[in-house]
């Protein structure tokens, strides 16, 4: 399989997020190293609009897909960047999706995900998630000055029930996803309607400086 890592240059929450230094390495180094260590991944590509990210990625052993600016804005979608990658490479084989923003990954776990995916040819994609400490049924949404539950069709104060009353909830974490071009090149859907589940250890995805500081603390105390 090919591995695609999306790494645009712009980031509002954490400036230059994809090359921010963690334990002496830019974040982009971590998924590249994981992919290169994998026994299941044959090519590692970084799709980027940023020359600095491209140069760093090449020095680490990745190949570069030059992404146009209109596919690298704040509101650009991953699926459009993947469509561009497929068209550029002219390769419609299944693709592993790793992220610089989820850097602390292990190649053995990625390979396990690929093996599971290969054993389930009817699935339209695989996505990773970890078990969340609280049930989504206990979450609130803000309705003006007041709180509402997210599930108004449920009767009573269901959100006050013990979490053990509900099914487990899982948070998508970007540890490893696997996608099929035959799905997203021919429809509006990125992952399709049969998404294979893959549970990983708890993982931090960097969307803010608070996330990055937590990641630093974890990596320094690991």
The average pLDDT across 109-129 equals: 98
Domains defined for the chain, CATH in brackets: 2-132+168-220 (3.90.550.10)
Q: What average pLDDT does range 133-149 have in this prediction? A: 94
Q: What is the pLDDT of residue 187?
A: 92
213: CB partners within 8 A, 6+ apart: none
Pairing, β 25-26 against β 43-48: unpaired
Instruction: Judge whether residue 15 has pLDDT over 80.
Output: no
Position 82 confidence tier, pLDDT thresholds 50, 70, 90 = very high
Q: What is the mean pLDDT of residues 162-181?
A: 94
Q: 125 phi and psi, to 5 degrees?
A: -170, 170
Q: Taking the complete model, does pTM exceed 0.85, yes or no?
A: yes
Is pLDDT at 29 greater than 90 in this prediction? Answer: yes
Q: What is the pLDDT of residue 42?
A: 96
pLDDT score, position 30: 97
């Amino acid at each position: 399989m090919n591995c695609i890592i999306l790494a645009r240059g712009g980031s509002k929450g954490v400036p230059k997020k994809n090359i921010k230094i963690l334990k002496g390495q830019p974040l982009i180094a971590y998924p590249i190293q994981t992919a290169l260590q994998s026994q299941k991944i044959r090519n590692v590509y970084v799709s980027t609009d940023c020359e600095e990210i491209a140069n760093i990625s090449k020095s680490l052993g990745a190949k570069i897909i030059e992404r146009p600016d209109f596919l690298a804005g704040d509101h650009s979608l991953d699926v459009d960047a993947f469509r561009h990658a497929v068209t550029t490479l002219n390769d419609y084989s299944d693709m592993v999706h790793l992220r610089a923003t989820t850097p602390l990954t292990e190649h053995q776990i990625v390979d396990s995900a690929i093996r599971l995916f290969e054993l389930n040819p009817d699935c339209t994609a695989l996505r990773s998630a970890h078990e969340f400490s609280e049930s989504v049924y206990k979450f609130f949404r803000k309705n003006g000055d007041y709180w509402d539950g997210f599930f108004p069709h449920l009767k009573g104060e269901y959100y006050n029930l013990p979490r053990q009353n509900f099914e487990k909830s899982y948070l998508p974490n970007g540890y490893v996803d696997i996608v099929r071009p035959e799905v997203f090149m021919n429809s509006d859907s990125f992952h399709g309607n049969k998404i294979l589940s893959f549970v990983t250890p708890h993982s931090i995805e960097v969307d803010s400086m608070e996330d990055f500081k937590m990641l630093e603390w974890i990596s320094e105390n690991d």
